[in-house]
Amino acid sequence: MIRVSGIKLSLDQDEADIRKGLLAKLRIKERDLIEYNIFKRSIDARKKDKICFVYTVDAVLVNEDKILCKFAGDKDVTPTPNLTYEYITPGAVPLKNRPVIIGTGPAGLFAGLILAVMGYRPLLLERGADVVRRTEAVKTFWATGRLDTECNVQFGEGGAGTFSDGKLTTLIRDLRCRKVLEEMVAAGAPAEILYSHKPHVGTDILRHVVKNIRQHIISLGGEVCFNSKVTEILLEQGAVTGVVVNDQEKIDTEAVILAIGHSARDTFKMLYDRGVKLSPKAFSIGVRIEHPQSVIDRAQYKQFACHARLGPAEYKLSYHSPSGRSAYTFCMCPGGVVVAAASEEGGVVTNGMSEHARDAANANSALLVGVTPADFGSEHPLAGVEFQRRWERQAYELAGSNYHAPAQLVGDFLADRPSRTIGQVQPSYRKAVTLAELKHCLPRYVVETLKEAILEFDKKLKGFALPDAVLTGVETRSSSPVRIERNEQRESNIAGLYPAGEGAGYAGGIVSAAVDGIRVAEAVAAKYKPLGDGT
Binding site for ligand FAD (CB under 6 A): 102-108, 125-128, 153-156, 159-161, 163-167, 229-230, 259-261, 264, 267, 331, 339, 341, 351-353, 501-503, 507-510, 513
Which residue lies nearer to ligand FAD by CB, 261 or 406?
Answer: 261
Q: Smallest distance, Å, CB 269 to ligand FAD?
A: 11
Residue 312 CB partners (closer than 8 Å, separation 6+): 293, 296, 297, 334, 335, 358, 359, 363
The closest of 232, 337, 335 to 276, measured between CA atoms, is 232
Phi-psi region of 357 (alpha: psi -120 to 50; beta: other; left: phi over 0): alpha
Q: Are 342 and 147 in contact (CB under 8 A)?
A: yes
DSSP output for 178-247: HHHHHHHHHTT--GGGGTBSS-B--HHHHHHHHHHHHHHHHHTT-EEESS--EEEEEEETTEEEEEEETT
Which residue lies nearer to ligand FAD by CB, 347 or 530?
Answer: 347
Q: Smallest distance, Å, CB 288 to ligand FAD?
A: 10
Q: Smallest distance, Å, CB 156 to ligand FAD?
A: 6
Which residue lies nearer to ligand FAD by CB, 352 or 427?
Answer: 352
Which residue lies nearer to ligand FAD by CB, 214 or 529?
Answer: 214
Q: Smallest distance, Å, CB 278 to ligand FAD?
A: 14
Which residue lies nearer to ligand FAD by CB, 336 or 530?
Answer: 336
Which residue lies nearer to ligand FAD by CB, 165 or 468?
Answer: 165
Which residue lies nearer to ligand FAD by CB, 13 or 169?
Answer: 169
φ/ψ (deg, to 5) at 217: -60, -45
DSSP strands (E only) in 47-173 = 52-61, 77-79, 93-94, 100-102, 123-125
Which residue lies nearer to ligand FAD by CB, 263 or 300?
Answer: 263
Q: Smallest distance, Å, CB 289 to ligand FAD?
A: 15
Which residue lies nearer to ligand FAD by CB, 7 or 366?
Answer: 366
* Buried-state track 310-319, b at ≥16 Cβ within 10 A, e below 16: bbbbbbebeb
Q: Smallest distance, Å, CB 214 to ligand FAD?
A: 12
> What span, in angstroms and rounded, lies between the C-alpha atoms of 89 and 247?
36
Q: Smallest distance, Å, CB 107 to ligand FAD?
A: 3
Q: Are strands 470-475 and 239-245 parallel, antiparallel or unpaired?
A: unpaired
Q: Smallest distance, Å, CB 444 to ligand FAD?
A: 26
End-to-end CA distance of the chain: 44
Q: Distance of CA 362 to CAs 11, 301, 321, Å?
A: 24, 16, 28
Asked, as a colleague might, if the bond just before 474 is cis with ω within 30 of 0, I would say yes
Q: Smallest distance, Å, CB 422 to ligand FAD?
A: 23
The closest of 495, 189, 222 to 181, measured between CA atoms, is 189
